[in-house]
């Protein structure tokens, strides 16, 4: 077939497709028979409109099974990336697979990855989660698990096997290594994990001591189906019962340990004939480890540990020196090496914190101690507390009033209902002139006491310090490893404040926050800060609250202060402050996202971080799908946090998935969760459906949610959108007055800006300028400046707009919205004012990746969405490029969930009409003008843009 022939066929095809039946018949009659046959065969299959409509990937998921099975997918070389891990070099090859040195690019941390040749079973991955809870200086930590890879701590050094190639080790070294290996066993066995494959090849000698690798790739348990033949142990080091495939337990590891000990002492593997070992004490230990009958061996690693310690006094000191942990020495002195079973909590358990009983007569301790304890416990990535919001929800279902006192009994019921493991209760009492703090953890299912701690304090001022100490000890007792505690323990006085009064005010503020009562929380935060100006976290939380209420400037101020104090707070709080700094001060959303992801990594059970991703970052960068995903994660982690439901709703709304949005809010309602934001979302859902009754319902509910000013401002936009400016202005006046009364100048300014922008869009230039200046007089936040500048630019005050643009550029060099949306828009408007539409288009190119993002004005004031698109459309129009202009305006109409009630949603019809006129498509132009005039049928007749539209339409 020649190219010309092909072209002919194609031309004919399209002509035939776009013709009516009669025209098509006539067309075919005129063509030569061969061509006609071609065409007919092409039309034959239709209508099969399903063909190719589903993208390939959705049709053939089983094909991709190949990917899972394909070892070459993970045949890695240096520089390759496995998700966030960048492979650096190969470290070695093992029986199961290869080990590489890699970098976790998110944290910049060097790690080791073992990539196995075969995939792990699904069961294994689950077990791996338990294993990753092992956190001990002598255990190689497991960071992450994938379908066929393990991400572990990188240990530098050589294996014991390598060392032993050079001969047996001197006795002091043997004792040193042995005690560290046994310590690892004690830790793991205490958590119910056996190693099952202990051997010199699995023991690394590093700079900071011995590390046992591949720990717990099997597990004590009755479920033997988890293990595949890979994990049955190395034959030479197998215990007799392992060879017979009998169940293995701690004593199996002890047998293997005996072999290792023997080899360290003699330099040779234990064979049927064993060499004689001196000293005698060691020989006894080895012999008993290697008993064929497990019942005759040392029965526990702890027992073994004691025996080893007894061999030489030197060993304990050497152990402590080698591990170099002062805390460990201290713990040893206070009996850390306990021989009874430890509390047995794992990283999966959650705890309910009961109210502290205040047996003193000093009200300063009410609530404060619980708050302080919560702060200390929340630092731990190991422990998880049931959130206060969740507790309130459960109380609801228990038909108890909110704010019910969390007594021992109530807490126990909450514990059971939430499937938690333990209740933590405490009290403070006065004893003479001392204060006594007491804390107890109880398993709420069987009432067993897990741990009990007590502390005394001479002075009231020292109570918080004592509380810190008691919290730390409790964390140890509950099973958190010392490394984890060392990494995550900032004393309470630093993490919060050393002043009880300030902490009390802060606690009251948090209570108000949890009741979603911003106006009540703000003064209490301020009180806390007044008492202790260096109370970093109070500044931060106040900043967060203010920002959410629309007071972005004030919020940013507080966050700046917190940022200056960020180095003294706990790790988790520091991340919080960093995130707020990126969001509120620099506006750099990419950085904020990095911070949040790293946070979610370190504290994987924290619902907060994914929730925040869903709240603003995703919105502000237009990543709505991601916002939904992050919300779902947060919901799974804590189903009683209200914000994630709102997150799913607004992100779905932005994607025009109205049903899903409504569904998410229904899910929240089913759990009796309600926050003012939901009201606004429901209002807009009703608006987009044209459901006036629904909108009225939400308006009626506004007073009880303290959302009257919000609702009035949204009503104003809806009215403006259909050209009813007189009514709209009244609404705005109302909204602005309410906001000012409540002391929210910035919010009032945003509303004023919305009014200014609408006036400008409609050609009421004098009003637009007046409103813009009024707004700037009220506040000078980022969004206010932008919106005011926008209005001024449209209204013809190019100079004023440029000044504001320059100010924005100076103040917010890193701000995503400013750099990629606001400034391009303002520059484009300036270019348009100077009759340079091509220039304008170019200025807006930068904005394209963020065209569909939700800028600050749309987040707070629900106006200004897709403005970069709208202005680009105007630029194309001014340049005479009708078709391209039409595309842009069509986009406005295609994203109603982002544009909402912004008047450009209606004006887009008019602009579309104009675009069609330019491109010569009169038919479509007429339709578009009609659409606009229909929307504006009740508009104020004196609006400039309406008069223009009518005149233009008449000419068509």
Identify which of 216, 75, 199 has the alpha carbon closest to the alpha carbon of residue 148: 75
Give bridge partners of residue 87 from the DSSP assignment.
102
- Whether the CB-CB separation of 891 and 866 falls below 8 Å is answered with yes
Distance CA 813, CA 348 (A): 43
Q: How many CB atoms lie within 10 A of CB 757?
A: 31
Q: Please identify, using beta-carbon distances, which residue of 10 and 461 lies nearer to another protein.
A: 10
Q: How many CB atoms lie within 10 A of CB 651?
A: 28
- Output the six-digit token pair for 518: 């911003």
Distance CA 579, CA 588 (A): 10
Shortest Å distance, C-beta 772 to another protein? 30
Q: Please identify, using beta-carbon distances, which residue of 209 and 622 lies nearer to another protein.
A: 622
SS (H, E, C) 67-110: HHHCHHHHCCCCCCEECCEEEEEEEEECCCEEEEEEEECCCCEE
Q: How many CB atoms lie within 10 A of CB 564?
A: 12
Place of tokens 């969760």: 673
Shortest Å distance, C-beta 558 to another protein? 24
Shortest Å distance, C-beta 121 to another protein? 12
Shortest Å distance, C-beta 347 to another protein? 21
Shortest Å distance, C-beta 811 to another protein? 17
Q: Give pairs for 868-873: CB < 8 Å, separation 24+.
A: 868/821, 868/824, 868/825, 868/844, 870/904, 870/907, 870/908, 870/911, 871/825, 871/828, 871/829, 871/832, 871/840, 871/844, 872/828, 872/840, 872/841, 872/844, 873/908, 873/911, 873/915
Q: Give the angle 849-854-858 at the CA atoms, nearest 5°.
A: 150
Dihedral sign, Cα of residue 84, residue 86, residue 91, residue 94: positive
Residue 440 CB contacts under 8 Å (≥ 6 apart), including other chains: 424, 425, 426, 449, 451, 452, 453
Q: Please identify, using beta-carbon distances, which residue of 460 and 846 lies nearer to another protein.
A: 846
Distance CA 774, CA 736 (A): 11
Shortest Å distance, C-beta 105 to another protein? 5
Q: How many CB atoms lie within 10 A of CB 731?
A: 22
Shortest Å distance, C-beta 17 to another protein? 7
Q: Please identify, using beta-carbon distances, which residue of 262 and 599 lies nearer to another protein.
A: 599
Q: Please identify, using beta-carbon distances, which residue of 799 and 848 lies nearer to another protein.
A: 848
Q: In terms of residues, how long is the chain?
A: 956
- Output the six-digit token pair for 722: 């259909």
Shortest Å distance, C-beta 78 to another protein? 12
- Whether the CB-CB separation of 256 and 198 falls below 8 Å is answered with yes
> Strands 449-457 and 434-443: what pairing?
antiparallel
Q: Please identify, using beta-carbon distances, which residue of 407 and 883 lies nearer to another protein.
A: 883
Q: Please identify, using beta-carbon distances, which residue of 527 and 586 lies nearer to another protein.
A: 586
Identify which of 677, 673, 614, 670 has the alpha carbon closest to the alpha carbon of residue 641: 673
Q: Please identify, using beta-carbon distances, which residue of 5 and 275 lies nearer to another protein.
A: 5
Distance CA 801, CA 807 (A): 10
Q: What is the DSSP letter of 479?
A: T
Identify which of 486, 478, 493 has the alpha carbon closest to the alpha carbon of residue 535: 493
Shortest Å distance, C-beta 123 to another protein? 13
| Catalytic center residues | 197
Q: Please identify, using beta-carbon distances, which residue of 622 and 800 lies nearer to another protein.
A: 622
List interacting residues with another protein (CB under 8 A). 1, 3, 6, 10, 13-14, 17, 41-46, 48, 51-52, 54-70, 73, 79-83, 86, 105, 122, 146-147, 588, 590-591, 594, 625, 814, 820, 845-846, 848-849, 883, 887, 891
Distance CA 727, CA 945 (A): 17
> Strands 350-358 and 384-385: what pairing?
parallel
| Neighbouring C-alpha atoms within 13 Å toward the C-beta of 524 | 19
Place of tokens 């010569």: 920
Q: Please identify, using beta-carbon distances, which residue of 83 and 172 lies nearer to another protein.
A: 83
Shortest Å distance, C-beta 33 to another protein? 18
């Amino acid at each position: 077939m020649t190219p010309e022939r092909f072209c002919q066929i194609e031309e004919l095809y399209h002509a035939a497709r776009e013709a009516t039946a009669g025209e098509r018949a006539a067309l075919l009659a005129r063509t030569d028979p061969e061509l006609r046959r071609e065409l007919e065969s092409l039309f034959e299959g239709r209508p099969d409109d399903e063909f190719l409509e589903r993208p390939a990937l959705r049709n053939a998921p089983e094909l991709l099974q190949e990917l899972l099975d394909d070892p070459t997918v993970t045949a890695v070389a240096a520089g390759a990336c496995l998700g966030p891990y960048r492979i650096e070099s190969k470290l070695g090859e093992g029986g199961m697979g290869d080990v590489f040195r890699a970098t976790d690019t998110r944290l910049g941390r060097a790690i080791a990855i073992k990539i196995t040749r075969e995939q792990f079973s699904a069961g294994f991955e689950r077990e791996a989660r338990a294993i990753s809870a092992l956190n001990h200086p002598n255990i190689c930590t497991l960071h992450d698990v994938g379908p066929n890879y393990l991400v572990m701590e990188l240990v530098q050094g050589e294996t014991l096997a390598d060392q032993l190639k050079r001969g047996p080790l001197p006795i002091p070294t043997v004792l040193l290594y042995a005690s560290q290996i046994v310590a690892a066993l004690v830790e793991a066995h205490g958590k119910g994990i056996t190693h099952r494959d202990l051997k010199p090849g699995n023991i690394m000698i590093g700079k900071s001591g011995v590390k046992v690798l591949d720990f717990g790739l099997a597990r004590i348990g009755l479920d033997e189906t988890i293990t595949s033949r890979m994990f049955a142990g190395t034959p030479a080091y197998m215990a007799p019962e392992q060879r017979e495939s009998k169940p293995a337990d701690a004593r199996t590891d002890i047998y293997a340990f005996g072999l290792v000990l023997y080899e360290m002492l003699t330099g040779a593997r234990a064979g049927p004939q064993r060499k004689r070992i001196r000293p005698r004490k060691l020989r006894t230990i080895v012999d008993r480890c290697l008993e064929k009958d497990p019942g005759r061996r040392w029965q526990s690693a702890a027992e073994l540990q004691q025996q080893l310690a007894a061999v030489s006094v030197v060993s304990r000191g050497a152990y402590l020196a080698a591990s170099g942990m002062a805390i460990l020495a201290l713990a040893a002195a206070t009996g850390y090496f306990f021989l009874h079973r430890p509390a047995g909590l794992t990283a999966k358990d959650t705890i309910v914190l009961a109210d502290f009983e205040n047996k003193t007569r000093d009200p300063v301790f009410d609530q404060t101690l619980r708050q302080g304890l919560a702060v200390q416990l929340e630092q731990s990535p190991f422990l998880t507390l049931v959130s206060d919001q969740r507790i309130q929800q459960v109380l609801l279902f228990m038909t108890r009033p909110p704010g019910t006192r969390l007594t021992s009994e109530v807490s126990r019921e909450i514990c059971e209902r939430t499937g938690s493991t333990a209740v933590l209760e405490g009290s403070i009492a006065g004893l003479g002139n001392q204060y006594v703090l007491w804390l107890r953890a109880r398993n709420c299912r069987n009432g067993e006491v897990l741990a009990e701690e007590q502390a005394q304090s001479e002075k009231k001022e020292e109570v918080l310090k004592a509380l810190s100490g008691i919290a730390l000890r409790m964390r140890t007792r509950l099973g958190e490893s010392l490394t984890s505690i060392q990494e995550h323990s900032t004393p309470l006085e630093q993490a919060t404040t050393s002043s009880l009064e300030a902490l009390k005010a802060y606690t009251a503020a948090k209570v108000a926050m949890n009741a979603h009562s911003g106006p009540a929380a703000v003064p209490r935060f301020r009180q806390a800060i007044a008492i202790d100006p260096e109370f970093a976290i109070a500044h931060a939380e106040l900043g967060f609250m203010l920002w959410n209420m629309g007071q972005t400037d004030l919020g940013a101020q507080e966050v700046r202060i917190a940022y200056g104090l960020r180095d003294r707070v706990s790790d988790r709080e520091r991340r919080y402050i960093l995130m707020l700094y990126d969001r509120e001060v620099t506006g750099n959303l990419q950085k904020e996202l990095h911070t949040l992801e790293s946070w979610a990594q370190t504290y994987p059970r924290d619902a907060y971080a994914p929730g925040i991703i869903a709240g603003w970052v995703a919105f502000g960068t237009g990543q709505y799908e991601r916002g939904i995903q992050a919300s779902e994660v947060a919901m799974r982690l804590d189903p009683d946090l209200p914000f994630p439901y709102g997150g799913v709703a607004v992100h779905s709304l932005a994607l025009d998935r109205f049903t899903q949005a409504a569904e998410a809010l229904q899910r929240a309602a089913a759990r009796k969760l309600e926050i003012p934001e939901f009201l606004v979302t429901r209002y807009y859902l009703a608006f987009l459906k044209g459901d006036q009754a629904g909108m009225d319902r939400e308006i009626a509910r506004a007073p009880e949610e303290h959302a009257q000013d919000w609702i009035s401002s949204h009503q104003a936009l809806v009215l403006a959108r259909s050209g009813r400016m007189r009514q709209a202005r009244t609404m705005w006046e109302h909204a602005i007055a309410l906001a000012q009364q409540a002391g929210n100048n910035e919010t009032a300014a945003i509303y004023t800006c919305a009014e200014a922008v609408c006036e400008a869009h409609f050609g009421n230039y004098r009003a637009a300028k007046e409103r813009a200046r009024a707004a700037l007089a009220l506040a000078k936040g980022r969004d206010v400046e932008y919106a005011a500048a926008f209005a001024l630019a449209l209204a013809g005050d190019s100079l004023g707009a440029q000044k504001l643009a320059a100010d924005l550029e100076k103040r917010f060099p890193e701000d995503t919205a400013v750099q990629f949306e606001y400034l391009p828009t303002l520059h484009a408007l300036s270019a348009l004012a100077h009759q340079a539409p091509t220039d304008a288009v170019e200025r807006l190119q930068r904005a394209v990746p963020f065209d569909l993002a939700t800028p600050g004005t749309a987040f707070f004031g629900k106006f200004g969405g897709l403005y970069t698109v709208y202005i680009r459309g105007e630029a194309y129009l001014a340049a005479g490029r009708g078709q391209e202009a039409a595309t842009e305006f069509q986009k406005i109409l295609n994203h109603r969930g982002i544009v909402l009630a912004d008047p450009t949603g209606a004006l887009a019809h008019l602009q579309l009409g104009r675009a069609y006129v330019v491109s010569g498509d009169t038919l479509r132009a007429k339709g578009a003008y009609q659409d606009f005039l229909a929307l504006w049928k009740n508009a104020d007749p004196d609006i400039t843009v309406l008069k223009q539209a009518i005149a233009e339409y008449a000419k068509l």
